Amino acid sequence: MTFISHALVTTAGVQILHLQGYELYLAYMFGVLIDFDHILKTRLYFSKNKLKKEKHYHWRTSLQEPVALLWIIPLSIFINSIVPIIFFTTHLLLDYFVSYNKLPLYPFTKYSTKGLITNVSDRIKEILVIFISL
């Protein structure tokens, strides 16, 4: 999913849960800003492809895979807040709705999946998510 859909769904979740202060920050950090590592991968993309566009380039790192729950759950216990788990899981679900390759257990295995509901266009899924979150 795109930044817009992640931001809208996170905002809807924040409003539903009436989050404020520190938990509001945590919601946006784990619902949207977890994709910050794409900026780091931009350099790798351009060194590999120059200005040529590559469809379905693997932008994801282990920060955006279910394996990240191995550090997010202990962090949530440590800070005594379930917000990181809720919003990271929501972020994962949105990403797993689109049909590009994902490595759910990376770096432990190279097992790959295309995600959920692969028979529906990603564009239609994106539009539905945006519409529902409004």
Residues 6+ apart with CB under 8 A from 23: 17, 81, 83
The pLDDT assigned to 88 comes to: 96
Rg of the Cα trace of the chain?
A: 15
Helix (H, G, I), strand (E, B) or coil at 113: strand
| Amino acid letter for position 57 | Y
The pLDDT assigned to 19 comes to: 97
Token readout for 60 is 């994801």
Q: Is the pTM of this model over 0.85?
A: no
The pLDDT assigned to 108 comes to: 85
Query: Splitting the chain (134 residues) into consecutive groups of 10 residues, what average pLDDT does each group show?
Result: 89 96 96 79 66 61 84 96 97 86 81 81 85 85
